């Protein structure tokens, strides 16, 4: 049985190919000049250049953090090219004008964008490397006053909004990689939902890292005004390379009074081969601020890719009665490493948070949940429930749980639970008895294990995630 | 605080070491520890292990080693037999008393029929056993306080339970602090030979309210099938600093049951490392911290499942009042290959006041797949439904709250296998919970 399972686990990465699009690549290395170059290329206003330089100055003074439970060779930040964009073309009026090579890439990924966008009723803002090339459904969104565009466009067209919120949740000097991102970010998505508007469709973005050795420093900013609500989806795949690629993104969410933001991620970047060679370093800072009363921010993530995943989508619950949620499935195989979790910072009264984390480790991988629940003295009546379950597949992998619970208010109620399990011979035998093969049984057990999280995903993503997990894990049980 | 001044602080504590021992291995161990003290510095809140416990108040005070001063210093209260009686345990078959870390034979006795003696004489009478175990379990390589204790190693308690001896009555090790500004280094070594059983009570008390520094190290080695109940009661004075390192090593099918109760000290830190070194070993580790005022009680435990088929259970409770702060870090490590491990851990915390604070971190590190591991943590206040239930039966609000607080703590105390000590601690908790500061904020 174990050989069958082994074969199943060791499926080659299906999305590994490099599309040959001429890139406008900046010379390698990081300096003030690089930052000025990025800023100039993008025709940015003076204040943004200042913000970048300030972040760079702070970054220079910071040290690379050592506390995460991940190991990797030291990153040479001077060996990275900080800007790469598909060759500038005239502004595109329709899909026909998109580079055919680019379209072919999406074809291979099984994302016929134009069709899929229509079928699913999803507006897809495609990010290819660092610059947005196509935006659909923009007009439809504009009708209700929603701004959904690349962050570069937002800087150009809505500078006041960007200036007001950029860096307000994740300050430029927040941490090492956030500072780096603030200094060199090239593009990302911007979304603004005005007062009282419920976004009529799920917004989603597809990311691809394409040019070899180009770290992608992407910046996302989502603002939901009073009473607004939005569901944002992010899905990722990346081609196969042998050198490691750094991805240090920053995502900021701001929810004002009664606003509701749901942010879902399916991450399937190249994880390196079965010997742990190559793969993406995914060092991401994601944070949401429940600024207003009764606001709600919900993170859902399915992390299956990347050689190293290191991210803690967090909620700062400042508004009274605000709600933070975190639902996560993190799967590691071969030599993948994941140190992921969340931070729930309760500041307002009667704030509530829920954490459901499912970690699955197979092969030689190492999967850690690291979470913080902090109840400030001001957070009277705060409530948290955390549940962290780990599943181990094979004897060489590791599963760790590091929950930090800091409570400074007696009226708060905090609960944390964690458990560990495995896929046992007897479970597989039970399935076999009923005529279900090992492969399918594993898939069913995993799906059952992750059900609480998958339920939170939008429909199409739930289907995709279920398939992805099955594919990634097939063959790893013996 | 920078490294230079903190390492100098440790150097200042190294003053007045005991004279060299005639045993070369003991001198070598001590010299090694002195070297480590020189290399290490006082941990700060920048160290992950000390993140929530700021011991800088300790470094602002200077302490003299208790053994240096032969004559009672001014301000030293005289210890008499009546005081000892106050703390005595009726069931005990043996008692060793240490005054400021120094052996007091006049207050000690041994009717247990096993080796219960001071380490200074034990090193010669049981040379081989002591040399094989002393300093072998409590690693001081990266632990400044364990290194400091080892640097001062000259005396302490030695308990050797011979093969297949089943000791019914407890052995009482009483550590009394009498002196102001004194640093004492209690040391304890318990060797339980194959198939033996014993109960050891370590009891830390103070004769008077004073600022002093207790830095204790306890080592226990359990051979195959041995069973040890270890009760640790820390009721130091409210001005005291108490740092303790306890390391326990379990051979196959041995059983270790520990109950630690922390009531006293301004800042206390208890590191308990249990190594499940051979198959079939079991441990249960329970703890209670009941603190108020400005107290800080920190418990760090490591249960190391190094081999397959071991069982561990842990329950840690904190009752925190006033502006006190409780810290708990419970690490369960399941090493690669430690299959069929069964481990569960629970951290329960009760906050009684608006300024009270709890930092808890139950931690699982698992490197084997066929294991059963679970942990849980809760922080909260008394359940309003429970309070209402009691009130509906005629109890006042205060009485209901006191009763529930007492019951919360009693769950741990009930696990102490020594009846008289259990009763005394229950009384103590009852008195604490009925103090006006606790739970009496809602007059009914």
Give pLDDT tens digits for B314-361.
999 999 999 999 999 999 999 988 999 999 999 999 999 989 999 999
For residue A402, give Cα distances in angstroms to A224, A425, B226, B362, B366.
32, 29, 33, 7, 11
pLDDT of residue B250: 96
Please indicate, yes or no, if residue B157 is contained in any of the structural domains.
yes
Q: Which tops the pLDDT comparison, B144 or A186?
A: B144
CB contact under 8 A, B361 and A403: yes
pLDDT band with cut points at 50, 70 and 90 for residue B379: very high
Using an 8 Å Cβ cutoff, are B182 and B211 in contact? no
Question: Which DSSP category does A441 fall into?
Answer: H
Q: Which tops the pLDDT comparison, A82 or B364?
A: B364
Which residues in chain A touch residue B353, judged by CB atoms under 8 angstroms apart? Answer: 410
Please indicate, yes or no, if residue B160 is contained in any of the structural domains.
yes
Q: Does A410 touch chain B (CB under 8 A)?
A: yes
Q: Which residues, 6+ apart, have CB-to-CB distance to B220 below 8 Å? A: B137, B189, B190, B191, B192, B200, B228, B230, B246, B247, B248, B249, B256
Instruction: Choose the closest CB to B380 out of A406, A408, A414.
Output: A414
Helix, strand or coil for residue A57? helix
Please indicate, yes or no, if residue B166 is contained in any of the structural domains.
yes
Helix, strand or coil for residue A206? strand
For residue A312, give Cα distances in angstroms to A265, A285, A399, B348.
13, 7, 17, 26
CB contact under 8 A, A395 and B369: yes
Q: Which residues, 6+ apart, have CB-to-CB distance to B25 below 8 Å? A: B131
Helix, strand or coil for residue A468? helix
For residue A397, give Cα distances in angstroms to A72, A216, A356, A473, B385.
17, 29, 21, 14, 44
Query: d(Cα B204, Cα B187) in Å, to the nearest integer?
Result: 12
Q: How far is A428 from chain B (nearest CA, A)?
A: 15
Chain B residue with minimum CA distance to A376: B357
Q: Which tops the pLDDT comparison, A77 or B169?
A: B169
Chain A residue with minimum CA distance to B321: A410
Residue B292 confidence (pLDDT) above 50 = yes
Which residues in chain B touch residue A393, judged by CB atoms under 8 angstroms apart? Answer: 369
pLDDT of residue B6: 59
Q: Which tops the pLDDT comparison, A307 or B204?
A: B204
Using an 8 Å Cβ cutoff, are A302 and A453 in contact? yes
Number of H helices, E strands in chain A: 12, 24
Average pLDDT, chain B: 89
Helical segments of A122-280, H only? 138-143, 151-157, 159-165, 176-184
Chain A residue with minimum CA distance to B360: A405
Give the end-to-end CA distance of chain B in Å, rounded to a whole number. 48
Instruction: Choose the closest CB to A377 out of B354, B365, B380.
Output: B354
Query: d(Cα B203, Cα B97) in Å, to the nearest integer?
Result: 10
Helix, strand or coil for residue A251? strand
Q: Work out how many domains chain B is built from and give that number.
A: 1
For residue A334, give Cα distances in angstroms to A271, A275, A393, A439.
9, 7, 11, 18
Using an 8 Å Cβ cutoff, are B347 and B377 in contact? yes
Please indicate, yes or no, if residue B235 is contained in any of the structural domains.
yes
Most confident segment among A265-269, A352-356, B41-45, B365-369: A352-356
pLDDT of residue B11: 84
Please indicate, yes or no, if residue B26 is contained in any of the structural domains.
yes
- SS3 of chain B: the string is CCHHHHHHHHHHHHCCCCCCCCCHHHHHHHHHHHHHHHHCCCCCCCCHHHCCCCCHHHHCCCCEEHHHCCCCCCCCCCCCHHHHHHHCCCCCCEEEEEECCEECHHHCEECCCCEEEEHHHHHHHCHHHHHHHCCCCCCCCCCHHHHHHHHCCCCCEEEEECCCCECCCCEEEEEEECCCCEEECCEEEEEECCCCEEEEEEEEEECCCCCCEEEEEEEEEECCCCEEEEEEEEECCCCCEEEEEEEEEECCCCEEEEEEEECCCCEEEEEEEEEECCCCCEEEEEEEEEECCCCEEEEEEEEEECCCCCEEEEEEEEEECCCCEEEEEEEEEECCCCCCCEEEEEEEEEECCCCCEEEEEEEEEECCCCCEEEEEEEEECCCHHHHHHHHHCCCCHHHHHHHHHHHHHHHHHCCCCCHHHHHHHHHHHHHHHHCCCCCCCCCC
Chain B residue with minimum CA distance to A401: B364
pLDDT band with cut points at 50, 70 and 90 for residue B189: very high
Q: Best residue in B45, B52, B340, B369 to probe A by mutation, most A CBs within 10 Å?
A: B369
Q: How many A×B Cβ pairs under 8 Å?
A: 113
HSE value, Cβ hemisphere, 13 Å, CA-based, for B72: 10
Question: Which DSSP category does A212 fall into?
Answer: T
CB contact under 8 A, A397 and B48: no
Please indicate, yes or no, if residue B163 is contained in any of the structural domains.
yes
Q: Does A67 touch chain B (CB under 8 A)?
A: yes
pLDDT band with cut points at 50, 70 and 90 for residue B7: low
Question: Which DSSP category does A95 fall into?
Answer: G
For residue B177, give Cα distances in angstroms to A294, B105, B173, B210, B234.
55, 16, 13, 9, 12
Q: How far is A404 from chain B (nearest CA, A)?
A: 5
Q: Does A403 touch chain B (CB under 8 A)?
A: yes
Average pLDDT over residues B234-252: 95
ipTM of the complex: 0.80
pLDDT of residue B275: 97
In 3D, which of A370, A378, A317 has the Cα closest to residue A344? Answer: A317
Residue-wise burial string across A113-123, b where 16 or more C-beta atoms lie within 10 A, e elsewhere: bbebbeebebb
Helix, strand or coil for residue A352? strand
Query: d(Cα A108, Cα B17) in Å, to the nearest integer?
Result: 75
**pLDDT tens for each residue of chain A, 478 residues long:** 344 444 444 555 555 555 555 556 667 778 888 888 888 888 889 999 999 999 999 999 988 888 888 888 888 888 877 776 655 444 444 555 555 655 555 554 454 454 444 333 344 555 554 444 345 566 778 888 998 888 888 899 999 999 999 999 999 888 999 999 999 888 788 899 999 999 887 776 544 444 443 457 888 999 999 999 999 887 655 555 545 578 888 999 999 999 999 998 888 777 877 787 778 888 999 999 999 999 999 999 988 888 899 999 999 999 999 999 999 999 898 889 999 999 999 999 999 999 999 999 988 899 999 999 999 999 999 999 999 999 888 888 889 999 999 999 989 999 998 888 888 788 889 999 999 988 888 888 888 888 888 888 877 667 667 777 766 666 665 4
Query: d(Cα B364, Cα A399) in Å, to the nearest integer?
Result: 8
Which residues in chain A touch residue B339, judged by CB atoms under 8 angstroms apart? Answer: 395
Q: Which residues, 6+ apart, have CB-to-CB distance to B75 below 8 Å? A: B179, B180, B210
| Domain around B85 | 3-383
Chain A residue with minimum CA distance to B361: A404
Please indicate, yes or no, if residue B366 is contained in any of the structural domains.
yes
Residue B175 confidence (pLDDT) above 90 = yes
pLDDT band with cut points at 50, 70 and 90 for residue B80: confident
CB contact under 8 A, A420 and B374: yes
Which residues in chain A touch residue B375, judged by CB atoms under 8 angstroms apart? Answer: 401, 416-418
For residue B403, give Cα distances in angstroms to B264, B340, B425, B428.
22, 40, 15, 13
Instruction: Choose the closest CB to B351 out of A396, A401, A407.
Output: A407
pLDDT of residue A98: 54
Instruction: Choose the closest CB to B381 out of A395, A401, A411.
Output: A411
Query: d(Cα A255, Cα A230) in Å, to the nearest integer?
Result: 10
Which residues in chain B touch residue A397, judged by CB atoms under 8 angstroms apart? Answer: 367, 369
Residue B398 confidence (pLDDT) above 50 = yes
Q: How far is A442 from chain B (nearest CA, A)?
A: 15
Please indicate, yes or no, if residue B441 is contained in any of the structural domains.
no
Name the helix (H) or strand (E) containing A148. Answer: strand A147-150
Question: Could you read off the pLDDT of B259-270 as tens digits, one per residue?
Answer: 999 999 999 999
The dihedral sign for the CA sequence A447, A448, A453, A456:
positive
From A76-80, B32-36, B370-374, the region with the lowest mean pLDDT: A76-80
pLDDT band with cut points at 50, 70 and 90 for residue B17: confident
CB contact under 8 A, B378 and A411: no
Q: What is the dihedral of CA B27, B32, B38, B40, to 10 degrees?
A: -140
In 3D, which of B111, B115, B124, B125 has the Cα closest to residue B163? Answer: B115
CB contact under 8 A, A406 and B357: yes
Query: d(Cα A398, Cα A413) in Å, to the nearest integer?
Result: 30
Which residues in chain B touch residue A70, judged by CB atoms under 8 angstroms apart? Answer: none
Helix, strand or coil for residue A384? strand
Chain B residue with minimum CA distance to A365: B367
Which residues in chain B touch residue A400, judged by CB atoms under 8 angstroms apart? Answer: 363-366
């Amino acid at each position: 049985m174990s050989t069958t399972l082994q074969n199943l686990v060791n499926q080659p990465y299906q999305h590994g190919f490099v599309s040959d699009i001429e890139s406008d690549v900046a010379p390698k290395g990081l300096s003030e000049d690089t930052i000025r170059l990025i800023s100039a290329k993008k025709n940015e206003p003076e204040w943004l250049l200042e913000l970048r330089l300030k972040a760079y100055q702070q970054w220079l003074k910071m040290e690379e953090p050592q506390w995460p439970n991940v190991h990797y060779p030291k990153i040479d930040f001077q060996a990275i090219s900080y800007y790469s964009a598909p060759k500038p073309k005239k502004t595109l009026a329709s899909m026909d004008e998109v580079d055919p090579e680019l379209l072919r890439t999406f074809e291979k990924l099984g994302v016929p964008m134009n069709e899929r966008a229509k079928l699913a009723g999803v507006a897809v803002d495609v990010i290819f490397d660092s610059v947005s090339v196509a935006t659909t459904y923009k007009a439809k969104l504009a009708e209700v006053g929603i701004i959904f565009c690349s962050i570069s466009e937002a800087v150009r067209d809505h500078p006041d909004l960007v200036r007001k919120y950029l860096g307000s949740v994740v300050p430029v000097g927040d941490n090492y990689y956030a500072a780096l991102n603030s200094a060199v970010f090239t593009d990302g998505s911007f979304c603004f939902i005005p007062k009282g508007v419920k976004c009529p469709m799920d917004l989603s973005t597809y990311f691809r890292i394409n040019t070899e050795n180009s770290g992608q420093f992407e910046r996302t900013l989502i603002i939901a005004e009073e009473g607004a609500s939005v569901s944002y989806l992010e899905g990722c795949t990346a081609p196969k390379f042998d050198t490691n690629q750094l991805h240090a993104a920053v995502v900021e969410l701001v929810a004002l009074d009664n606003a509701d933001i749901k942010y879902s991620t399916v991450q399937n970047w190249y994880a390196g081969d079965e010997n742990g060679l190559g793969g993406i370093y995914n060092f991401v800072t994601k944070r949401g601020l429940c600024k207003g009363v009764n606001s709600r921010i919900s993170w859902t993530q399915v992390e299956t890719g990347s050689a190293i995943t290191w991210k803690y989508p967090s909620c700062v619950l400042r508004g009274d009665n605000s709600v933070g949620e975190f639902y996560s499935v993190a799967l590691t195989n071969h030599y993948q490493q994941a140190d992921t979790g969340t931070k729930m910072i309760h500041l307002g009264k009667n704030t509530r948070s829920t954490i459901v984390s499912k970690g699955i480790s197979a092969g030689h991988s190492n999967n850690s949940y690291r979470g913080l629940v902090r109840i400030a003295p001001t957070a009277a009546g705060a409530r948290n429930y955390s549940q962290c379950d780990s599943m181990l597949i094979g004897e060489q992998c590791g599963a760790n749980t590091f929950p930090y619970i800091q409570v400074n208010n007696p009226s708060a109620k905090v609960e944390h639970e964690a458990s560990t399990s495995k896929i046992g011979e007897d479970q597989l035998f039970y399935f076999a008895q009923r005529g279900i093969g090992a492969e399918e049984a594993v898939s069913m057990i995993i799906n059952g294990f992750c059900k609480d999280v998958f339920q939170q995903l939008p429909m199409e993503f739930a289907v995709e995630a279920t398939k992805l997990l099955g594919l990634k894990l097939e063959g790893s049980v013996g | 605080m920078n490294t230079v001044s903190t390492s100098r602080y440790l150097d200042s504590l190294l003053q007045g070491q005991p004279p060299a021992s005639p045993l070369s291995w003991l001198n070598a161990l001590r010299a090694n520890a002195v070297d480590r003290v020189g290399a290490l510095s006082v941990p700060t809140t920048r160290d992950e292990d000390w993140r929530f416990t700021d011991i800088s108040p300790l470094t602002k005070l200077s302490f003299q080693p208790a053994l240096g001063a032969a004559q009672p210093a001014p301000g030293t209260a005289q210890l008499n037999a009546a005081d000892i009686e106050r703390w005595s345990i009726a069931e005990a078959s043996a008692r060793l008393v240490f005054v400021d870390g120094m052996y007091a034979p006049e207050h000690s006795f041994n009717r247990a029929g096993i080796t219960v003696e001071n380490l200074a004489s034990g090193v010669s009478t049981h040379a081989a056993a002591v040399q094989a175990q002393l300093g072998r379990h409590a690693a001081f390589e990266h632990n400044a306080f364990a290194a400091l204790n080892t640097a001062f190693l000259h005396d302490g308690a030695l308990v050797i339970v011979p093969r297949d001896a089943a000791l019914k009555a407890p052995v009482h090790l009483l550590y009394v602090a009498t002196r102001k500004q004194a640093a004492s280094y209690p040391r304890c070594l318990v060797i339980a030979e194959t198939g033996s059983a014993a109960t050891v009570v370590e009891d830390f008390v103070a004769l008077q309210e004073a600022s002093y520094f207790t830095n204790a190290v306890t080592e226990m080695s359990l051979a195959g099938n041995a069973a040890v109940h270890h009760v640790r009661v820390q009721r130091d004075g409210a001005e005291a600093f108490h740092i303790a390192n306890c390391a326990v090593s379990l051979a196959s099918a041995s059983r270790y049951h520990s109950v630690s109760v922390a009531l006293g000290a301004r800042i206390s830190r208890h590191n308990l490392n249990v190594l499940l070194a051979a198959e079939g070993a079991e441990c249960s580790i329970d703890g209670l911290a009941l603190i108020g005022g400005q107290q800080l009680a920190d418990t760090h435990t490591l249960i190391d499942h190094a081999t397959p088929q071991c069982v561990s259970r842990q329950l840690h409770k904190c009752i925190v009042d006033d502006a006190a702060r409780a810290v708990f870090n419970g690490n369960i490590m399941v090493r690669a290959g430690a299959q069929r491990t069964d481990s569960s851990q629970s951290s329960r915390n009760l906050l009684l006041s608006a300024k009270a604070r709890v930092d808890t971190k139950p931690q699982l590190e698992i490197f084997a797949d066929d294991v059963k591991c679970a942990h849980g943590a809760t922080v909260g206040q008394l359940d309003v439904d429970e309070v209402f239930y009691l009130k509906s039966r005629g109890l006042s609000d205060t009485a209901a709250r006191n009763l529930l607080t007492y019951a919360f703590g009693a769950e741990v105390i009930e696990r102490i296998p020594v009846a008289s000590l259990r009763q005394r601690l229950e009384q103590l908790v009852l008195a604490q919970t009925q103090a006006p500061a606790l739970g009496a904020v809602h007059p009914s």
